[in-house]
Copies of this chain bind each other. A is one copy, B any other.
Amino acid sequence: MESEGHETEPGTTRPGGRTARVRAAVLEAAGDVLAEHGFAHLDLADVARRAGVGKTTVYRRWGTATGLVTDLLLDMAQQSVPRTETGSLLGDLTANARLVQRTLADPRQGALFKAVIAAATCDPKAAEALHGFYAVRVKEWAPCVRQAAARGEVPEDTDPYEVIRAASAPLYYRLLTTDLPLDEAAADRAATATAAAARAGAFGRGA
């Protein structure tokens, strides 16, 4: 508390700036702990120590491990990259699938995603935050399916959300249920299969 008192004295630093810096440090530390040890070992005192932030600040602002995961997922959704536009559904879905594949194949990010998925299986608030994260990502990419429909690549009644989810699903399934490599071939196969199925009308709302 003392150090915080010092730093928020007029003229020392902007409170908003400090708040943002503390949040960034705490969420990065929380991500590290999740990636290294999983949700069951996400200890607020440990996170505070790693972030170089007062324990009281972390307890007061985030409260619980669930509070940390929820804010981390909110931050991940806000930081996540905009979609790529390539001019074809296959190109767009390949860009999407490769982005997911590179993220999940990265040791820290892959472990982090496994940890937040595990957290969501046993904590309703973490589940809500996780669903929110994926809803943002699916909404970001959905327009590529609407554009494909406008170009006549897929039927008009194609459900954009189902198409986007279909391109990611095999990569997550591979990550969670197999020890097979999460390579670019897996991403390209997911994109090719989804584009072919969409062209064949498999994601029609009436299908």
Contact = CB atoms under 8 A, between A and B. Distances in A.
A81 interface: no
Contact of A202 (B127, B177, B189): B189
Given A38-B121, A118-B122, A189 B173 contact: no
Contacts of A193: 166, 193-194, 197-198, 202-203
A127 B120 CA distance: 18
Interface residues on A, range: 35 or more
Contact of A169 (B38, B127, B173): B173
**Chain A interface SS verdict (over half):** helix
From A39, A166, A168, name the one whose CB has the most chain B CB atoms within 10 angstroms. A166
A178 interface: yes
Contacts of A114: 121-122
24 contacts: A40-B122, A115-B121, A117-B117, A117-B176, A118-B118, A118-B122, A120-B176, A131-B178, A134-B177, A135-B178, A162-B189, A165-B173, A166-B193, A169-B174, A172-B172, A172-B176, A172-B177, A189-B207, A192-B202, A193-B194, A194-B197, A197-B197, A197-B202, A199-B200
